[in-house]
Chains A and B, each alone.
Chain A
């Protein structure tokens, strides 16, 4: 079997993975990125509305600075984030965006003079100043005090990813696309690389690397309905958890985006509401102002999603063959605005709903969207538990998002964390050598080959697709936006049964080559373990914070739960082992009122 040596192995070639790779390549190290798909198809490309960076160029962002961005981020996280990391993030975002500009991203710019904009349904006027003409402009997003989301129409992630990959090509970063890491090679102390399956041929290979990065994105596809790409099945988190020594942080913190379209669950950007779009109910009336007088449609995502769910529970939803939904109205923004600033939304509505958003309402409901949890790292991006293992982007729990991520902060995280973690990886590579134990490498290859052989020859067991569907339905039914002890208990119990099925699968195809059925069968037990980390973490966290809303514990409890969950899964256990650490060591802003959401708080002093 083939063994490939490199300095840095990046598992994932989206924005975060490639940004780290570029930093290492520029420092002179050999770098290989693995990717399930060609790098430019990574899910980063689907980020639409914008990237938060406190440039303060546009008039509605006047006076913005990293301090304000930091405050918004901490409030958005419902004080679940690591404030030292959030501070590093906010301080470095302006630099990171200017570097992306230098590399070629065509950011929209400030156009001086008077222009109209909408807030809620109301038409207002603003005047951009002459001296900021041609600098990077921004739009409004939820949970922010200033207009801060810098954008390229609503294809911001696409434009950033294409630019990032062009720089990766320029610096000779190699990408081995259509490959999937099946396990990490490690000795419980040091990570030595990964065992990888080629998704073109089915071949197994070992990659031996002095440093290994997990930047494989989120795991939204453990849910049946998700805005995520079909590749977001948590491969990176799975191989980290499988080591038994690397914990996943805050897996119960799952974001539901207010505007997934019905049916198909495709995202339409928060920029719709940022640019003045409104949410309407069955009577075609705006309802958000009655719940959130201050922020209305532009409260944080967790809050807007909860309010939508509450409103539908009152019978104010629109019935459809695909379940209940509400309406997103952007008609008043006008066709010109929609076809220039929201053109992906325009295309999505026309192609997938058969609806012209300049004329008609868009059916939407809250849909799984983002994983705040992931591979727990320190502020330098080094994973807990294994030396030489790093993580960045959505795959990681770095942790600047806490229990709710603000819109536009994920694109920003990919390039800021990519830059900072990239530096720490390059520093690590300058210093650290490694002794390779070939028995360890052969042993791990053999283990994975045996898994494949067992699956291909198995005569008893269930079909992988059915077992996956069962897992997805359990999460939809019992681990959604509102949670309670009874449902979560049921979810954990049922998922444990599903785990047993997932460990005894039977293929109905031969499993030859790049067999999609075999790929799923190899991934599925890990996906169910991730689902159990989410459900069990949610069951144990007896409070409500950010996206984690417990009907039976509706208050945010800073006295007992100002902590981060760490889920470990040592081999042979039926459930993860949960530990807790303080949410933040550095406290710049003590826990307080978010200014939206109206959640009761049990204070740390009580």
Chain B
């Protein structure tokens, strides 16, 4: 006997005259191996074609489908209904501008974050098309890739108390990004340069250390370690800025 699921879904379409925020219930019979990607698409096809949500790769790779699932930020595509109770409450990810229903504007947020963090390789060296690539230790490449795995889904922002309190907080995704460039020998920025970017309370010193980010990251990024690492480096840099003779 299949379970009868009740989906309670946040509804609000800012573009629809007369629309007001509220929850709407949909009934749906569970099938084997059902996940939220399949369920939401079938609800849209069979019950309400105006329902807005975001899926793209539906394979846990692109980060499009983050939402709050029974109170916890996560990727909808890889959430199986079998892991959830009969009643499933879906809310849009907080901290981002709402597009409609479960759809939020993560694109603008992450573009702005990447601009603020200046998240690209800073180097004076020009690319030489005739030269072989610069040698790098494979272990270093793997360490960079480890942090490069962030899919900018926004779960860490949705789960971050500071980000909910202040919209200019850069969040764990930004600190992880900075840590990725700190590791990369191709990026010639030094700690003073990084301090200019994240050595503030919109950056690393705004983190209250609640570490909801680490708990919800669907890619299991070592966010706790990275936050500690960046904080330690930037703390030392702060000291150095005040006491020029201080050495790491």
Q: Is the CB of B15 within 8 A of A516?
A: no
Q: Is the CB of B145 within 8 A of A155?
A: yes
Which of A43, A97, A202 contacts B57, CB < 8 Å?
Answer: A43
Q: Is the CB of B144 within 8 A of A106?
A: yes
A340 at the interface (CB under 8 A from B): yes
| Minimum distance in angstroms from B96 CB to a CB of chain A | 11
Chain B residues, CB < 8 A from A351? 60, 78
B186 at the interface (CB under 8 A from A): yes
Contact with A along B142-156 (1 / 0, CB 8 A): 101100110110000
Q: Is the CB of B120 within 8 A of A110?
A: no
Q: Is the CB of B52 within 8 A of A516?
A: yes
Chain B residues, CB < 8 A from A137? 138
CA distance A487 to B202 in the complex (A): 62
Q: Is the CB of B114 within 8 A of A169?
A: yes
Q: Is the CB of A99 within 8 A of B129?
A: yes
Known: A177-B107, A517-B50. A109 touches B15 (CB 8 A): no
Q: Is the CB of B59 within 8 A of A348?
A: yes
Contact with A along B29-64 (1 / 0, CB 8 A): 000110100000000110011111011111111111
Chain B residues, CB < 8 A from A5? none
Q: Is the CB of B121 within 8 A of A514?
A: no
Chain A residues, CB < 8 A from B48? 509
Interface range on chain B (Cβ under 8 Å from partner): 35 or more
Known: A41-B64, A514-B100. A134 touches B137 (CB 8 A): yes
A170 at the interface (CB under 8 A from B): yes
Q: Is the CB of B145 within 8 A of A106?
A: yes
Chain A's closest residue to B48 (CB) is A509
Q: Is the CB of A516 within 8 A of B44?
A: yes
Chain B residues close to A by CB (< 8 Å): 13-17, 32-33, 35, 44-45, 48-52, 54-64, 78, 99-100, 103, 105-108, 110-111, 114-115, 118-121, 125, 127, 129, 131-138, 141-142, 144-145, 148-149, 151-152, 184, 186-187
Chain A residues, CB < 8 A from B15? 201-202, 512-514
For this complex, 10 residue pairs linking A to B, each with C-beta atoms less than 8 Å apart, are: A40-B110, A40-B151, A43-B62, A45-B62, A109-B138, A134-B136, A167-B120, A169-B111, A229-B56, A344-B61
Chain A's closest residue to B125 (CB) is A102
Q: Is the CB of A512 within 8 A of B16?
A: yes
Q: Is the CB of B49 within 8 A of A508?
A: yes
Known: A95-B129, A104-B184, A134-B136. A516 touches B141 (CB 8 A): no
In the complex, chain A residues 474-526 whose Cβ is within 8 Å of any chain B Cβ: 507-510, 512-517
Chain A residues, CB < 8 A from B14? 513
4 A-B pairs closest in CB distance: A513-B15, A38-B107, A134-B135, A509-B50
CA distance A528 to B245 in the complex (A): 71
| Minimum distance in angstroms from B15 CB to a CB of chain A | 2
Chain B residues, CB < 8 A from A152? 141, 145, 148
Chain B residues, CB < 8 A from A202? 15
A124 at the interface (CB under 8 A from B): no
Chain B residues, CB < 8 A from A517? 49-50
CA distance A464 to B50 in the complex (A): 12
Chain A residues, CB < 8 A from B184? 104, 106
